[in-house]
């Protein structure tokens, strides 16, 4: 009854006398449900102020802490054909054990005596190199001898030249003396001839002086010839000196040319010897690669290339191996927005696939079935999946990880951050805000 009219019926008629009216107006509409809602609201309000540990979750997988402990494949650096297998899948092998034997597929390596023939070529070229070196030594000695001989010849010719020049001086003095004698002879002849004309000397005296004058004239002519001969000897000595210098220069130049040619041939032969030795070392190393061996102790996982007579290329994976001793770790991925909140050494909870766990991400103390880990490495470059890779190692202060966990199995990680009220966490999630940014206490203390 809305009682919106002034003609109120309830003042005139008692409607409570009717059974239906009494049932409707005296009924308690949802009083218990309202009380339940009120109590639930109070409980939720109290829960909103309970502490909540902020966390960053991620999906990852089990791996190894050190790169050399991770599963690997064995490749052959050379192409070949499989000839024999010495292991089976699941076998345990030690480092250096032979896994399979291969053979060559390239025609240039088919010769069984390739190394022997290469070694013979090295010996021949080495002998040729020794011969060139001996020739170089002989030519060097020849050049030294020619140089010394040239010095002696030049010194000898210089002495002859000096003797010739001294002889020229001597002959020139004799020539001057002869000229003086002829002047004296002419004056004596003229004087005798004058005295003879005056009757003071006999004709015989005049004839003697004339004879002496003629002898003096003949002597001066002879002395002039000797003087010219001495000059010619000087010229001959100078010519001989020039000839000796030119001759020995030519001989020494030819010997030096032969020396340089021998040195060039020696260097070329030495380069060929080095090339052959390099080829020999390569052939020797290549022969050792015909046996594929285990790089470390481990178990053979799977033969990736099976059969006998199967050919493969260089670098192609042949067999997989799992190292014997390894330390487990977990690689997980986080969003870029959460990366600044993670630091080396922080604690992380881990849930392994196949191990039942009751996880309360906000209350890690009541989580059951999770294991402790700590951050040991944070990748500096984003991964292809758009997230950053984090490497986790077991926490020594927590329970040991299960021994039956295998490398490659899945794992879920929960990185624990700051404690905040639940209402704050709900508000943050609704607004898509990142967790509170904070620095580890150790870092802050160090900075202070």
Residue 292: other Cβ atoms inside 10 A: 21
CATH topology for 78-104+290-323 is OB fold (Dihydrolipoamide Acetyltransferase, E2P) (2.40.50)
CATH topology for 51-69+326-447 is Elongation Factor Tu (Ef-tu); domain 3 (2.40.30)
Token pair for 88: 């089976």
Listed in sequence order, the residues at least 6 apart from 366 whose beta carbon sits closer than 8 Å to its beta carbon are 360
User: Between residues 417 and 288, which one has the greater pLDDT?
Assistant: 288
Answer yes or no: is pLDDT of 331 > 90: yes
**Alpha carbon 446 to its chain's center:** 39
CA dihedral 104, 106, 112, 117 (to 10 degrees): -140
Answer yes or no: is pLDDT of 68 > 90: no
Q: Cite the residue boundaries of each domain of the chain with CATH code 1.10.287.620.
A: 114-288
pTM above 0.95, yes or no: no
pLDDT digits (tens, 9 = 90+) for 337-391: 888 878 888 888 888 887 776 555 555 555 566 888 999 999 888 888 889 999 9
What is the 3-state composition of the chain as percent helix, strand, coil, each rounded to the nearest 5? 50, 20, 30
Element (H, E) at 56: strand 51-64
Q: Cite the residue boundaries of each domain of the chain with CATH code 2.40.50.100.
A: 78-104+290-323
Instruction: Identify the burial level of 334 via C-beta atoms within 10 angstroms of its C-beta, where 0-12 means exposed, 13-18 middle and 19 or more buried.
Output: buried
Q: Tokens 């880990």 belong to which residue?
A: 373
Nearest to 233 by CA among 144, 308, 166, 302: 166
Q: Tokens 């000196």 belong to which residue?
A: 241
pLDDT digits (tens, 9 = 90+) for 132-154: 999 999 999 999 998 898 888 88
Out of 3.90.10.10, 3.40.720.10, 1.10.287.620, 3.30.420.40, the CATH code matching 114-288 is 1.10.287.620
Listed in sequence order, the residues at least 6 apart from 114 whose beta carbon sits closer than 8 Å to its beta carbon are 283
Q: How confident is the model at residue 438 (pLDDT cuts 50, 70, 90)?
A: low
Q: Cite the residue boundaries of each domain of the chain with CATH code 2.40.30.170.
A: 51-69+326-447
Task: Give, in order, the Cα–Cα distances in Å from 123 to each of 44, 271, 274, 403.
Answer: 94, 14, 12, 60
pLDDT digits (tens, 9 = 90+) for 364-374: 555 566 888 99
Q: Residue 94 in 3-state DSSP?
A: coil
Answer yes or no: is pLDDT of 70 > 80: yes
Gap between the Cα atoms of 300 and 281, Å rounded? 31
């Amino acid at each position: 009854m809305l009682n919106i009219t002034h003609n109120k019926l309830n003042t005139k008629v008692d409607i409570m006398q009717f059974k239906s009216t009494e049932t409707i107006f005296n009924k308690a509409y949802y009083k218990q449900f309202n009380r339940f809602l009120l109590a639930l609201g109070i409980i939720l309000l109290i829960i909103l102020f309970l502490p909540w540990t902020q966390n960053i979750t991620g999906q990852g997988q089990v791996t190894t802490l050190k790169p050399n402990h991770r599963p690997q494949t064995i490749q052959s650096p050379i192409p070949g054909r499989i000839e024999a297998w010495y292991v089976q899948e699941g076998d345990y092998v030690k480092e250096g054990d032979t896994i399979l034997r291969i053979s060559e597929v390239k025609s240039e390596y088919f010769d069984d005596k390739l190394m022997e023939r290469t070694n013979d070529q090295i010996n021949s070229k080495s002998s040729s190199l020794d011969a060139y070196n001996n020739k170089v030594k002989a030519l060097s000695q020849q050049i030294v001898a020619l140089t010394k001989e040239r010095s002696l010849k030049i010194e000898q010719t210089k002495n002859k030249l000096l003797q010739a020049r001294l002889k020229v001086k001597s002959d020139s003095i004799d020539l001057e003396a002869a000229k003086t004698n002829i002047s004296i002879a002419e004056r004596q002849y003229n004087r005798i001839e004058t005295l003879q004309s005056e009757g003071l000397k006999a004709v015989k005296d005049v004839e003697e002086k004339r004879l002496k004058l003629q002898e003096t004239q003949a002597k001066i002519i002879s002395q002039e010839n000797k003087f010219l001969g001495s000059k010619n000897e000087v010229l001959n000595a100078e010519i001989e000196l020039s000839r000796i210098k030119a001759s020995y220069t030519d001989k020494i130049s030819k010997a030096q040319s032969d020396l340089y040619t021998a040195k060039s041939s020696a260097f070329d032969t030495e380069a060929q010897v080095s090339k052959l030795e390099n080829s020999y070392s390569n052939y020797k190393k290549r022969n050792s690669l015909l046996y594929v061996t285990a790089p470390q102790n481990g178990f053979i996982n799977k033969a990736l290339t099976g059969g006998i007579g199967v050919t493969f290329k260089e670098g192609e994976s042949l067999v997989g191996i799992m190292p014997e001793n390894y330390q487990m770790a977990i690689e997980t991925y986080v969003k870029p927005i959460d990366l600044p909140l993670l630091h080396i050494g922080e604690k992380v909870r881990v849930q392994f696939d196949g191990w039942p766990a009751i996880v309360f991400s906000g209350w890690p103390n009541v989580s059951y079935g999770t294991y402790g880990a700590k951050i040991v490495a944070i990748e500096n470059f984003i991964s292809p999946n758009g997230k950053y890779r984090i490497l986790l190692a077991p926490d020594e202060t927590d329970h040991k990880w299960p021994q039956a966990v295998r490398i490659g199995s899945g794992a879920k990680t929960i990185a624990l951050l700051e404690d905040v009220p639940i209402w704050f966490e709900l508000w943050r999630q609704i607004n898509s805000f990142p967790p509170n940014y904070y620095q580890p206490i150790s870092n802050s203390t160090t900075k202070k």
